[in-house]
Every structure is written in structure tokens, then in C-alpha cells.
Structure 1
Amino acid sequence: MATAPAPRWPTALMDAALALHDNRLPDAERGLKAYLKQNPFDARAIRMLAELAGRIGRNRDSEALLRRALEIAPGFTAARANLALVLYRQNRPAEAIAELDALNEPDHVGHANLKAAALGRLGGFEGAIGLYERVLADAPQQPKVWMSYGHVLKTVGRQVDGVAAYRRALALKPDLGEAWWSLANLKTVRFDEGDIAAMEAALADPAIGDEDRFHLDFALGKAFEDRAYADDAFAHYVAGNELRRKSLAYDAGETTAFVDCSIALASPDFFTARAGQGCPVSDPIFVLGMPRAGSTLIEQILASHSQVEGTTELPDLPLIARRTDDYPNGLASVSPDRLRALGEEYLGRAAVQRKTDRPYFVDKLPNNWAHLSLIHLILPNATIVDARRDPIACCFSNFKQHFARGQGFSYSLDDMGRYYRDYVRLSAHLDRVLPGRVHRVIHEALVEDTETQVRALLAACGLDFEPACLAFHETDRAIRTASSEQVRRPISREGLDAWRAFEPHLAPLRIALGEDLIAAYPDAPFSA
């Protein structure tokens, strides 16, 4: 018996689908909206409009459209798979996994790959490794899957296997810039002449995309820096940063205005009026400050203590901030009951990442420095640790680091200096208004006199000293940040003065930081 032919798509819908396929997004949007005006219950068209929204970064709109498509057609598997991806993009991995499980397609390579990535975000690394291995057994010619496999192997400390996975990815796709950068980002791999030649050949190809190109520039910068070719290294760092900066909408003036508002809000009277409010739980230890200032080292030291669990850079506090109307000024209107509820909500969200019953846990998202007032209001008994590093060393370390997401300030020396200055400015204000509330760890002091600084850190957290905190490099745990391999080795002075070879190029950074701030570090508080 012959199979009935699939119903033909209406011409208008087919034209919109072709426009979407060709990335002619304005044409696709016009066509889909016109079609849906006449056919508002066509789940196929709604799914395509959701895909369009996702391509331009409107993930919340995409999610709403996909949920509407699934209301109309609950069995529409393509829409459910798209919804899982959109949830993952919004850093909601548990919900993404729930949608993938609802599909009940365990042998689908794409779904298994996405589930592995989501498990990695939730700390389910062994499950992720198993899924990647299953995917690669079925589809071994997938360079990006090999690269993702390498990421999770690196996270759990299997560096040799991780390097092998990255190399396998590059054997399949020699111009895969992110794989080259992933090797460089281990901080322990030195590229040989063949590696440099391969990267330069890939970079010379005019057909490669911007993402591969800037990853290659960052990797080549690291390769030449390792050889002490500072001028060549800096040229590649500049090229990578300039190309990455073009795709971002970061405005340093907005950060300055935000800090101005935060300082104006955070008066002594403001905090006195709210004393005793918020959630009284003392579980969280927030380690914050600039990226590349030693926060991973501090977390590793704390996570070596029998009472402390290391998690990762949790996204939950910024999410709560974004949901507060007119933030930060809107904090003045939040009721006592709401402050407590927000603290409890944070703890509930963070619980997803906790794997042990240790009483304390570390949230080491550096950017939480911008939310110091929020932390104090909703979790007044939480510990706050500020990881502070020499301004020029810290900012240059950021400049040569490609971040996967979330650090838009880091791709310009001027933006970087202004951001560091704003961070210190807000921190200094909170030191005056809430003296002693924040414990500061100076990175150079931690390197030079580790035991004294570790004892002071533990005391600030209300913890007894344990020798394991000095042997932090022996602690076996998953580490997801760029410093993962560095903190698996004993502490050393390596890297403290790496910026000095580049000093002739750093005048824009010095100007943006200001000589007063540079001179004040670390002995005197900075104020402006």
C-alpha cells in the first residue's frame, strides 16, 4: 500500500523557510508574520519565528513562541528540541534536560550532545563524559563534539585526555580556532613550531569566520608570549580583542553610571534601616572581584576545607538583580518579606549545583562585586571575599584571556581600566559604609605568605584552620574556570610580572586606570 504524500507547504510559508535558510532574516520575519496573521495556529510557522528570534539573541521571545507551538501541537518534536536548546542558552540546564528527556530519543546524536553539555553545567561531569563517549562512538568525525568532550575532561582534571580530545578535533578541522584556544587556555601546553605554522596558515585563509579568527589570534598570542616575543604576541592579542569587541555592545559609561547609582543608594542610613532583614542563613561564601585576580585559587583553598563545597561561577545573583525593577535604585522599595524571599530564592537556585552536605559553599562569580549591596540585603550573614590583584597585572591578564561569555569589558584596554576603577570605587565606598563586611585577599600577599593569608581567610569565614587548605593543589574536584590547571599545582610567583614585557604597549590602560589608583595599590584605600 502506497504511503500518502506529505502535505505540501503553502507557498508563503515555503518562501519564509527559504529566507530563514539563507539567513535573510528581515525577509523571513516579514513573511512569517504575514503568514501567521492569516494562519495563527500553524505551529510550523511559529517554530520558525522562534528560530529567527533565537538567531538574533531574543531567547525569551523564542521560548515563548516555542511554548505556544507546543500548546498547539504537543507532539511537535522539532519544537521541543528547539525549546531545550533555547533553555540551555538561557543557562537553564535542568529545564533543558527535562525537555530532552520528554523527547525520549536517547539515540539521537544531537540531543545526546546537548544533554551532555547541560549536564556539564549542572556539575554532572561523569554523566556528560559518558554521553560524549556514546556520541563519538556513533559519530567520530565531529570535531566540535571532540572539543566539547575535551572541555569536560579538562574540568575533571583529566588533562592528558583533554589535550588528546582537542588534538583529535584539530585533526578533523585544523582551522577550528576554539580548539586551538582551548589548548592555549590550559596554560600548561606549549605550542611547537608545527602548531604555530598550522595556526598561521588557518588565520591566513580569508574564508574562515570571525569566531575562528579571534580564537586563533588569542592562541597565537599565547604561543608567542611563551617564546618571549612580546611584540608579536601583543599584535595578536590586539587583533583578537578588536575583532571580538565588534560583536559586543559593551558601554563603559553604563558601568560608571551604575556604580554612581549604587554609591548614592548605599548610605549608612539605607543599611541601618534594613538591619536584621533578609535571609539569615550563612551558607554562601561569595568570592568576587575582577576576573583573573585569583578567585579560582581562593575557591580551591576554601574547597579544600572539610566544611566548604566549591561550586562554580553561579549565575543566580545577577538573575535576581535583573528581575528587580530599576536596579539598583529599586532596592530601596523592596519589602522586608521580599528581601528574605530573594535570599531564599538564591539558596534554592544554588542548591542545584551543590553535590555534598558540607554546610558552606562558594559562589565565585567575579562580577558579583557589582551586587555587594544586594548580597548584604538578602543574605546579611553570608561571607564576602574580594579577590584583589595589582591593577595593571590583572587588567592585562584579562586582555589576553578570551572569555566564552559575560566579560564584555575585557576586549579593550581603555574599557578594562575604567571597569577596574569602577570596581575599586564601589568596593571602597562599601568599605566605608559597612566597615569589615568584606574580607579582602591581596593576590600578591597570598603568593608571598600563603599560610598567613590562608589563616586570615579561614578566620573571616568563621572556619578553623585545616592543613589541607595549604595543600589545595592536591584536592580532587571539578574546576570549570580558566585557571583550572594552575590551581592543580603548588602556588608560585609565575605570572605575577608577566605584564612587564608588554609595558611599552600599555599606556592606554595606565591612563584609564589613573596613576592615583595604581599608586594606591595595595596599601591605601582608593577613593574618588
Structure 2
Amino acid sequence: MHTPPHYDPRLVEAALAMNDNALAVAEPLLRSLLKDDPFDVRAIRLFAELAARVGRSADAERLLRRAVELSPGFVAARANLAQLLHRANRSDEALAELAQIAPDEADDDSGLTTLQAAAHGKLGQFEAALALYAEVLARKPAAPRVWLSQGHLLKTVGRQAEGIAAYRRALDLAPGLGEAWWSLANLKTVRFSAQDVAAMAAALARSDLTAEDRWHLHFALGKAKEDRGEAAAAFEHYAAGNALRRKHLPWQAARLTAEVDGAIAAATPGLIARGQAAGDAAPDPIFVLGMPRAGSTLVEQILASHSQVEGTSELPDIAQIARAIPEYPLGLAALPDEALRTLGAQYLAQTRVQRQTERPLFIDKMPNNWLHVPLILAILPKATIIDARRHPLACGFSNFRQHYARGQGFSYDLADMGAYYRDYVRLMAHVDRVAPGRVHRVIHEALLDDTEAQVRALLAHCGLPFEPGCLAFHTNPRAVRTASSEQVRRPINRDGADAWLPFEPWLGPLKAALGDVLTAYPVAPASV
């Protein structure tokens, strides 16, 4: 182990540059320092941070592992490694790293405990996570972002009143914390008072507000105005929030169209046949996919109320596997049969950590996986695939007024939204042609109109017998992480079905981008 006896001036200068996000200044300083002393663990850690900021996660992990190998007691480097692993959805590995940090080694272990809580929450170990958040708040009750995190978790497990109280406590401490305001709005059940609206407007007027706080406040004020029937004011706030978010998360519609073209070219009857013979034959996964805000959480909740099905969460594993395939999606066609089997087994092994029961089937509800249906058919030929679909205007507007924590880049512009929906429909239509009957489509409006018939058809496609509990899905106490968490804890209703109608005058760009997909939708909105 080598520990530098002092701070090299280049390290100090690089740290200051990193603080100013001047990465081009910091990088040559760190390279020079490490050339002179390749064992300087402080420089290695800082270089790892730089790599992570520019998206080189594998390099960042390698550097941090080198730092803790050289200096096992280097708490900051091990904590950075744990955070990197957690963000990469390897929370079990993150917990293992955190377990190697002794309580007396950290100057202030509140941040480590908070990260530990977040990792337990990601793994579905909610009671452990809540206990850790409570422990931090007992020591530091004036920590608004910890109250915010606790509120998210309380909402997830269905303790809504306590979640609201946690969000309100965060706002007492930080009235301009936009995410807390949006979190209240995102429950869909909270109605803001006139005092709340005034407080949000005052926060929005502050000159020191971050862009993130600003867009959260716009989305929350949009919800407040919508609840009051002030459609024009609500749309103005939604549009402002979306415009701000789009600046920080740019979207290239043409790139998605090219990806869909590639997926269609790769998804041949030959690939489907090879998958049937060579892919992993486990029937465990039920993929629920489609557009966000199309009813996928409702479908998930219905299925998770069956005695043979476990609900997990939105799992990133299929997308991660796709990113590792050379020249994806066209590269699918070049994969040998053995690779198809290996990738299917890899998916099952990676998702095993999310399964908390012995139920034979589990749900992977990730709407964006529609783009990867050809991959799923090739590597998991016995998996069940459910496409949750909703009228494009209702679905499009619902996305436009929704702020996503992890970002859905297409959702911040109405024209991009329409193009995204068109590409989604185009790929799914191709899948129906090359693999007829493999995807079961749940039309959201039909599910609202004749719930039992649609639930019976859904279960039959999954090879499951009907169970009355699937109709009483709202009584299921399971944790729900998504924006629809409170909606699926109520019986079937139409409360949000026609929310887009007052905003129709502003939906022209969405309609134009949808084109004939709009008129071809199988069910008209209820009020049209």
C-alpha cells in the first residue's frame, strides 16, 4: 500500500478544476501526476470520478478497485465504488463494499448509511431501508433530501400519509426543493392548496434556483393548475418544464427510427426460429412493455395478484444485455446459437436477486423494452410478452405532463412523442407478422370497459388459471415504485382517462407526428 505523504499541487489544481466541471483542465493534470506516481490513490480516485462523469463507467470501476486494492482503508474510494455499483443496478455488490467500511473509519457516516438504505430499497428490502433512513434522520433531522428519499420509499410501500408527511417535512426545511413539490403532485391524489401554489410560485421566482428545481416546480404547478381546471395556465407550466428538461436531456428522434429499422431488419422468421431452438427455455419471465403511461403498472398489478406470479420492478437487464451486443440491433442476426442460450441464462441469473418469493413466474415491467422484443424472442423463447397500449392522444399527453426521474427523452416534446409512438407501433406490427401470437396486447380502454373479460384473456395468454384476486388487485399490499403507485391501489376507474381533452387545442404537434397511427387505433377515447 502506498499513501502519498502530501497533496501534490497538481492534485489540488485538478480537484478545483473538477469542482468547476472543467474536465479538460483536470484530465492532463491527473495523467501527469499518475505518470510520476502511479500509486497515488487520491489521484486515482479523482481520475475515476472524471471517467464516471464522461460516461466511462467501466474505467471508473477499474480505477476505484485499484484505489481500494492499494489502500483498503480509503473510505472515500470505497464509498465511490459502492455508489457506482448502485447506479449500475448492482446494489448487492454495493452493499458488499459498504459492509467493508467500519463505522469508526468514516468522518461522517450519514452519507454511507443513506447510500446503504438506497441500495436496500433498490433490492426490494424496504424495511431495512426505512430503518436506515430513520437512523440517519434521528441524527440529522434537518436533512431535506433524506426526508425526500424516505418519502419516496414510504410511497412505494403504500404508506401514503407518512410519505406525504416526509415530503412536507423536506419542504419545511427547503421550500425551493422542486423534487419534493413534484413528488407530492406525482402521487396524483394530493390537491395543492392556494398557500401551496403561492409557495411554489415564490420559489420559482427565486434567482438562485437550480434548473432541476425549476423544472420540477413547473411540472408541479402544472398539476396544481390542471386540478383547478385552468388548462391554459397548466399547459404553459407543463411546456416550460418540458422545455427546460429537454435542454438537459436532448432527444434524437431520427436515431430511434434508425434503431427500429435495424430491429425490423434483424427480426426475421429465421431469427425467431433459431431462438425457439437455441434460446434459454425457462418460462419464468413475463415482460410487460409498451409506451410509458399506457397502463403497464395496472397490468403488472393484476398479474402480481396471482398466486403464481411475483411482481418485481422495472428491471434494466434486457437493455444492458442489448448494449453489450456488437452492432445492436442488426448484430442480433450475427449471434451464434450458443450466444442466444448464454444471454438468456445471463438475464435469468441477473434478475434472480430481485425475486423474493418461490413463485414460478415473475414480472419484468419495463415499458421501453418494446424496442428489445426481437432480442427477448431470440434469447428467451418461452417468456411471455404483454404489450400495454393506450390511445395515442391520452398516452401522449399523459407523458407530456409527467416528469420522469430517470428521464424519458422523447417525452419532453409533443412531436418527438408522436414519432416515438409511431416507431413503437411500427416495430410491434412487424413482430406480430414474424411471430404471430407471441405478443398479447392489452388495450387500456378495453380493460377499463370490460375488466373481467380482459383479465381472463390476459391470464389465459400467460397460461394461468383465473383467480378472483386478480380483479381485487387494488388490495394487493405489494410495493409499487412507479408514478402509478397510488392509482393501482384503487379499483378500476376512469379518473384520468379523459384528462387530455381540455388540452386538445395545444396537441397539434402530437397529432401531426402520429399521422395515420392516430386514426388506426382500435378503440376511440371514451369521450370522442
**What TM-score do the two structures reach when normalised by structure 2?**
0.96
Which residue matches 2:151? 150
Letter in 1 for 2:251: Y
Distance in 2 between residues matched to 1:381 and 1:274, nearest whole Å = 10
Which residue matches 1:130? 131
Distance in 1 between residues matched to 2:523 and 2:498, nearest whole Å = 19
Question: Does 1:334 find its partner at 2:335?
Answer: yes
Which residue matches 1:357? 358
15-24 vs 466-475, which moves further: 15-24
Equivalent of 1:25, from 2, 23, 32?
23
Distance in 2 between residues matched to 1:446 and 1:186, nearest whole Å = 22
Letter in 2 for 1:342: L
- Does the CA-based 8 Å contact 2:391-2:523 persist in structure 1? no
Which residue matches 1:3? none
Q: Deviations over 1:24-55 (max 9, x none)?
A: 33322232222222222211111111122333
- Does the CA-based 8 Å contact 1:187-1:485 persist in structure 2? yes
Which residue matches 2:228? 227
| Change over 3 Å in CA distance of 1:54–1:38 after alignment to 2 | same
| Change over 3 Å in CA distance of 1:275–1:25 after alignment to 2 | closer
Letter in 2 for 1:39: D
338-347 vs 451-460, which moves further: 338-347
Distance in 2 between residues matched to 1:54 and 1:110, nearest whole Å = 19
Secondary structure of residue in 2 paired with 1:103: coil
How far the C-alpha of 1:348 sits from its partner, in A, is 1.1
126-135 vs 31-40, which moves further: 31-40
How far the C-alpha of 1:272 sits from its partner, in A, is 3.0
Letter in 1 for 2:366: L
428-437 vs 66-75, which moves further: 66-75
**What TM-score do the two structures reach when normalised by structure 1?**
0.96
Distance in 2 between residues matched to 1:13 and 1:375, nearest whole Å = 47
How far the C-alpha of 1:430 sits from its partner, in A, is 0.7
Which residue matches 1:9? 7
Q: Aligned ranges for residues 455-470 of structure 1 at < 5 Å?
A: 455-470=456-471
Secondary structure of residue in 2 paired with 1:402: coil
Which residue matches 1:308? 309
- Does the CA-based 8 Å contact 2:126-2:157 persist in structure 1? yes
Letter in 1 for 2:322: A
Which residue matches 1:519? 519
Q: Deviations over 1:64-121 (max 9, x none)?
A: 2211222322222211111111112222211111111111228811100001011111
Which residue matches 1:95? 93
- Does the CA-based 8 Å contact 2:445-2:523 persist in structure 1? no
Q: Aligned ranges for residues 243-254 of structure 1 at < 5 Å?
A: 243-254=244-255
Q: Deviations over 1:437-468 (max 9, x none)?
A: 10000000000110000000000100110111
Secondary structure of residue in 1 paired with 2:100: helix
How far the C-alpha of 1:273 sits from its partner, in A, is 4.4
Letter in 2 for 1:344: A
Question: Any gaps of 5 or more consecutive residues in structure 2?
Answer: none
Secondary structure of residue in 1 paired with 2:248: coil
Which residue matches 2:413? 412
- Does the CA-based 8 Å contact 2:271-2:378 persist in structure 1? no
- Does the CA-based 8 Å contact 2:275-2:381 persist in structure 1? no
Question: Does 1:59 find its partner at 2:57?
Answer: yes
Letter in 2 for 1:55: R
Equivalent of 2:44, from 43, 46, 65?
46
Which residue matches 1:188? 189
How far the C-alpha of 1:219 sits from its partner, in A, is 0.5
Q: Deviations over 1:144-198 (max 9, x none)?
A: 0000000000000000000000000000000000000000000000000010000
Secondary structure of residue in 1 paired with 2:278: coil
Which residue matches 2:495? 494
Quote the RMSD (CA, aligned, Å): 1.5
- Does the CA-based 8 Å contact 1:473-1:489 persist in structure 2? yes
Q: Aligned ranges for residues 74-473 of structure 1 at < 5 Å?
A: 74-105=72-103, 108-473=109-474
- Does the CA-based 8 Å contact 1:105-1:111 persist in structure 2? no
Distance in 2 between residues matched to 1:488 and 1:347, nearest whole Å = 29
- Does the CA-based 8 Å contact 1:385-1:438 persist in structure 2? yes
How far the C-alpha of 1:384 sits from its partner, in A, is 0.5
Secondary structure of residue in 2 paired with 1:498: coil
Secondary structure of residue in 2 paired with 1:386: strand
Question: Does 1:35 find its partner at 2:39?
Answer: no
Distance in 2 between residues matched to 1:385 and 1:141, nearest whole Å = 45
Secondary structure of residue in 1 paired with 2:277: coil
Secondary structure of residue in 2 paired with 1:275: helix
Distance in 1 between residues matched to 2:270 and 2:360, nearest whole Å = 32
Distance in 2 between residues matched to 1:335 and 1:467, nearest whole Å = 44
Secondary structure of residue in 2 paired with 1:276: helix
How far the C-alpha of 1:11 sits from its partner, in A, is 2.1
How far the C-alpha of 1:274 sits from its partner, in A, is 4.2
Distance in 1 between residues matched to 2:118 and 2:143, nearest whole Å = 15
Secondary structure of residue in 2 paired with 1:280: coil
Q: Deviations over 1:456-491 (max 9, x none)?
A: 000010011011110100111000011000000011
| Change over 3 Å in CA distance of 1:58–1:196 after alignment to 2 | farther
- Does the CA-based 8 Å contact 1:59-1:89 persist in structure 2? no
Q: Deviations over 1:414-440 (max 9, x none)?
A: 111101100000000111111111000
